[in-house]
Amino acid sequence: MSKNRKEIPVTKPFLPPREEYEALINEVWERNWLTNNGPLVQRLEEELKEYLGVPHLNYVSNGTIALQIAIKVMELKGEIITTPFSYVATTSSIVWEGCKPVFVDIDPDTLNIDPDLIEEAITDETTGILATHVFGNPCDIDAIQEIADRYNLKVIYDAAHCFGTEYKGESVYSYGDISTASFHATKLFHTTEGGAIITNDAEINHKVQRMRNFGHAGPGNFEGVGINGKNSEFHAAMGIVNLRYIEKVIERRKEQWLYYQNLLSGLKIEGLTVSSNVDFNYSYYPAIFESEKVAINVKDTLEESGIAPRRYFYPSLSELGYVDSRKVEVSKDISQRILCLPLYHDLTEEQQQNIATTIKKTFQFV
Ligand SMILES: *Cc1c(COP(=O)(O)O)cnc(C)c1O
């Protein structure tokens, strides 16, 4: 094994019992139907809709194409108000779709877009809001919807981190005009690669279905412009099996999350303030240090011990070379001093203790 391979990575994909996956793959071999809305894709969509309690869900090839299709189907043009504190795909999708991202700063406690700052960023060119529920913690959904209604804007949520999170007793995916999910291997629920587009609106859903399959309305019949956003039977099989374990995965995350809180209490580290009315999924453990210097020192010290935290999100997306920067000081500041600590299903208590002890060591020298 490579020497550089960390003993404790920041994340590790959950892998289900191999026999369960193979049983589904054997079916694929028998049918010889590998992709193009196959039976496992349809089954996964049904199971996800039931588990999440959402009326429409389109399984796609990844969370980024989900964002791009969402922007396209909502016909957003001109300026889109968005958060600078997210993964690059949130901003790059806006630019890729020929729109201009307008950054609005975040709330330092929830790390989500600050709704009090949205209004002043709205211009005649604004057509939508694309906000991320950061680390699975829902945005101030009610405030955002109220502004969107008042200015006739569409709302898309990048809900890549949100599997299993509920807001006011409903899946957080139920909010906004569209929510997008990522089922990438590093996410809480994954299908190796994959994503989903979720909406409550049957008409939008119909358009999304066409759009993810080249615009096909039938063989030789096209309804509008489309792209290839389909996903395969192999990916769906992974999802079907992983869904059987998701409750266990979330339960374990919660224990680990609370254990970190306990182990790190008393240190000058800020965590995430979970919004109210939320049933949280504990998908990430962000630790915000006093300064960038402290954060880098902690990162270096952990890495020397074979532990890999991740600067996430870093950099603030307002720093990207292809966007117009707006003053978003909170996002810039927090992105410089935040680390996500290792969190994955089989991370042990001993490993968490080891991580906490190593972090404590660095604090003795600052
Ligand atoms: C993972 C992620 C994406 C991209 O999803 P992919 O499935 O990797 O394309 C987009 N936004 C956020 C916030 C993410 O964490």
Shared-domain flag, residues 164 and 280: no
Shared-domain flag, residues 64 and 171: yes
Shared-domain flag, residues 162 and 299: no
From the CA of 194, give the closest atom in ligand 1. Answer: 7
Alpha carbon of 280 to ligand 1 centroid (Å): 19
Residue 9 within a domain: no
Alpha carbon of 65 to ligand 1 centroid (Å): 10
Summarize the confidence of residues 258-268 as an average pLDDT. Answer: 95
Q: Is the pLDDT of residue 325 over 90?
A: no
Report the CATH number that the domain containing residue 257 is assigned in CATH: 3.90.1150.10
Q: How many CB atoms lie within 10 A of CB 335?
A: 24
Tokens for 53, please give them. 């309690």
* Rounded Cα distance, 57 and 48, in Å: 8
Q: What is the pLDDT of residue 107?
A: 97
pTM: 0.96
Binned at pLDDT 50, 70 and 90, residue 224 comes out as very high
Name the residue with tokens 């006739």.
152
Q: What is the pLDDT of residue 306?
A: 95
pLDDT exceeding 70 applies to what percent of the chain?
Answer: 98
Shared-domain flag, residues 153 and 251: no
Residue 1 within a domain: no
18-31 and 39-52 helices, crossing angle to 10°: 130
Cβ-based burial of 202 (10 A; exposed 0-12, middle 13-18, buried ≥19): exposed
Give the active site residues.
Answer: 187
Report the CATH number that the domain containing residue 123 is assigned in CATH: 3.40.640.10
Alpha carbon of 221 to ligand 1 centroid (Å): 32
Shared-domain flag, residues 209 and 303: no
Residue ending a domain, among 222, 243, 264, is 243
Residue 6 within a domain: no
Shared-domain flag, residues 163 and 294: no
Shared-domain flag, residues 156 and 250: no
Residue ending a domain, among 223, 243, 263, is 243
Binned at pLDDT 50, 70 and 90, residue 366 comes out as very low
Q: Is the pLDDT of residue 6 over 80?
A: no
Residue 215 within a domain: yes
Average pLDDT, the chain: 96
In the three-class reduction of DSSP (H, G, I as helix; E, B as strand; rest coil), residue 136 is classed as helix
Q: Is the pLDDT of residue 294 over 70?
A: yes
Q: What is the pLDDT of residue 364?
A: 77
* Rounded Cα distance, 155 and 175, in Å: 9
Contacts of 221 (CB under 8 A, 6+ apart): none
Shared-domain flag, residues 175 and 258: no
Name the residue with tokens 């997008």.
180
- Residue to substitute in 60, 71, 87, 156 for testing ligand 1 pocket (most ligand atoms within 8 angstroms of CB): 87
Q: What is the pLDDT of residue 275?
A: 87
Shared-domain flag, residues 185 and 93: yes
Summarize the confidence of residues 163-186 as an average pLDDT. Answer: 97
Q: What is the pLDDT of residue 365?
A: 53
Which residues form the domain of 87?
18-243
Whether 195 lines ligand 1, by a CB cut-off of 6 Å, is yes
Residue 30 within a domain: yes
Rounded alpha-carbon distances, angstroms, from residue 162 to 41, 64, 80, 141, 315: 21, 15, 22, 14, 21
Contact call for residues 155 and 144 (beta carbons, < 8 A): yes
Residue 10 within a domain: no
DSSP string computed for 258-323: HHHHHHTTTSS-B---PPTTEE-----EEEE-SSHHHHHHHHHHHHHTTB--B-TT-S-GGG-TTS
Q: Is the pLDDT of residue 331 over 50?
A: yes
* CA–centroid distance for 68 within its chain: 14
Q: Is the pLDDT of residue 1 over 50?
A: no
* Rounded Cα distance, 89 and 75, in Å: 19
Residue ending a domain, among 206, 228, 243, is 243
Q: What is the pLDDT of residue 5?
A: 56
* Rounded Cα distance, 145 and 234, in Å: 37
Shared-domain flag, residues 96 and 38: yes
Number of domains in the chain: 2
DSSP string computed for 74-122: TT--SEEEE-SSS-HHHHHHHHHTT-EEEE--B-TTT-SB-GGGTGGG-
Shared-domain flag, residues 93 and 229: yes
- Residue 257's nearest CA partner among 288, 281, 282 is 282
pLDDT exceeding 90 applies to what percent of the chain?
Answer: 95
Shared-domain flag, residues 174 and 291: no
Residue 11 within a domain: no
* Rounded Cα distance, 262 and 270, in Å: 13
- What are the pLDDT digits (tens) for 36-77? 999 999 999 999 999 999 999 999 999 999 999 999 999 999
- What are the pLDDT digits (tens) for 72-86? 999 999 999 999 999
Rg from Cα positions in the chain? 21
Residue 5 within a domain: no
